[in-house]
Amino acid sequence: MTAEDDQLRQSFARVRAEVGKAVVGQGGAVSGLMIALLANGHVLLEGVPGVAKTLLVRTLSTALSLDTKRLQFTPDLMPGDVTGSVVFDPAKAAFEFREGPVFTNILLADEINRTPPKTQSALLEAMEERQVSADGVTRKLPDPFIVAATQNPIEYEGTYPLPEAQLDRFLLKVTLELPERDTEVEVLRRHASGFDPRDLAAAGVTPVLSADELAAARAAVTRVGAGDDVLGYLVDLARGTRHSPSVRLGVSPRGTTALLAAAKAWAWLSGYDAITPDHVKAMVVPVWRHRIQLRPEAELEQVSADGILRSIMQQVQVPI
């Protein structure tokens, strides 16, 4: 690791500190968002209402010198409301393309499962190809571009489950749990002191990481090494999901490359110049929990994807 790497990691530490000015706890979710940024991937945040999913993304965006747009997904949202559409401009007497909110660096897709599949599919090309096709023209999205989507896991009325093809586009699925008692007391203490989650400037949240620094950090992540023994371990884990009696559809090769990318980002953030089995194991659940499909009998027995993945990690031999 170089001195530049150390400075870049310090910048990410400052980002974490800025997020902490507005969000109490949720360290795992913060790390997940940072890994998504470094690995050029998208992240799905799942949690019950009121656990700061939207606030977390808004605060992280404020701590970065990146363009951010928020889109509230609703049942009447149309694909053109996401990607943009061709409209007639009377002043020019011509049709022109007006960019939708997807033309940004960080798109906060709030309550993404509240919009119908037709509109959800409008994001597929943007998430995978980083481009939008409209009126026969392909338009590149800004770089970087990531989608940070939120969804509620317990409310089913008026929601549309995300199709497997779209779920597979998310690098990570991060769950936000209810806070511990001391954490919730701290949340109340801040609100009692006048904290307003709608006014992040008043909370002192300021940009501390530039787009150039993020690009340099991403380049550094690509240089993180991966030995053949660790790569073999990663593949053995994936094959374990494909042969599990509780799993109907295991992890695909896209899932193995996603795990490799996330493990490299986590290794770099942790100060390593090569990934270890521990980095792989730390990323298995958030990277794969949304990529495996359980058999109906497993769901009836209330077996969780997280539990299956942890069981597979216990069964697969770890390289020395």
Q: Kindly report, residue by residue over 204-242, the tens digit of the pLDDT.
A: 888 988 888 999 999 999 999 999 999 999 999 999 999
Whether 237 and 308 have beta carbons less than 8 Å apart is answered as no
Q: According to the model, what pLDDT value does residue 97 have?
A: 82
Same domain, 145 and 290: no
Same domain, 204 and 246: no
Q: According to the model, what pLDDT value does residue 102 have?
A: 92
pLDDT tens by residue, 163-194: 787 888 899 999 888 888 998 898 899 889 88
Same domain, 176 and 48: yes
Alpha carbons 47 and 32: distance in angstroms, whole number = 14
Alpha carbons 219 and 38: distance in angstroms, whole number = 9
The CATH number given to whatever domain includes residue 272 is 1.10.8.80
Q: According to the model, what pLDDT value does residue 80 have?
A: 87
As for how many domains the chain has, the answer is 2
In a domain, 136, yes or no: yes
Whether 147 and 109 have beta carbons less than 8 Å apart is answered as yes
In a domain, 292, yes or no: yes
Same domain, 295 and 244: yes
Same domain, 66 and 203: yes
Alpha carbons 201 and 58: distance in angstroms, whole number = 12
Same domain, 232 and 214: no
In a domain, 320, yes or no: no
In a domain, 272, yes or no: yes
Measured CA to CA in angstroms, residue 255 lies from 113, 116, 184, 249, 261 at distances of 22, 25, 35, 12, 10
Alpha carbons 252 and 254: distance in angstroms, whole number = 5
Reply yes or no on whether the pLDDT at 36 is more than 70: yes
| Domain final residue pick, 183, 218, 253 | 218
In a domain, 193, yes or no: yes
Long-range own/partner contacts, residues 72-77 (CB < 8 A, 24 or more apart): 72/110, 72/111, 73/109, 73/110, 73/111, 73/112, 73/113, 73/114, 73/115, 73/119, 74/111, 74/114, 74/115, 75/114, 75/115, 75/116, 75/158, 77/115, 77/119
Alpha carbons 146 and 243: distance in angstroms, whole number = 32
| Domain final residue pick, 198, 218, 238 | 218
Average pLDDT, the chain: 88
3-state secondary structure the chain: CCHHHHHHHHHHHHHHHHHHCCCCCCHHHHHHHHHHHHCCCEEEEECCCCCCHHHHHHHHHHHECCCEEEEECCCCCCHHHHHEEEEEECCCCEEEEEECCCCCCEEEEECHHHCCHHHHCHHHHHHHHCEEEECCEEEECCCCCEEEEEECCCCCCCCCCCCHHHHCCEEEEEECCCCCHHHHHHHHHHHHCCCCCCCCCCCCCCCCECHHHHHHHHHHHHCCECCHHHHHHHHHHHHHHHCCCCEEECCCHHHHHHHHHHHHHHHHHCCCCECCHHHHHHHHHHHHCCCCEECHHHHHCCCCHHHHHHHHHHHCCCCC
pLDDT band at 273 (very low <50, low <70, confident <90, very high): very high
Same domain, 241 and 279: yes
Alpha carbons 19 and 69: distance in angstroms, whole number = 18
Long-range own/partner contacts, residues 187-192 (CB < 8 A, 24 or more apart): 187/24, 190/24
Same domain, 171 and 236: no
The CATH number given to whatever domain includes residue 92 is 3.40.50.300
| Domain final residue pick, 194, 218, 242 | 218
Same domain, 20 and 166: yes
pLDDT tens by residue, 106-165: 999 988 888 888 888 888 888 888 988 877 788 899 988 999 998 887 665 667 778 787
Same domain, 141 and 258: no
Amino acid at 229: D
Same domain, 190 and 245: no
Alpha carbons 193 and 307: distance in angstroms, whole number = 40
Range of the structural domain that residue 256 is part of: 224-315
Q: According to the model, what pLDDT value does residue 1 have?
A: 66
Same domain, 229 and 91: no
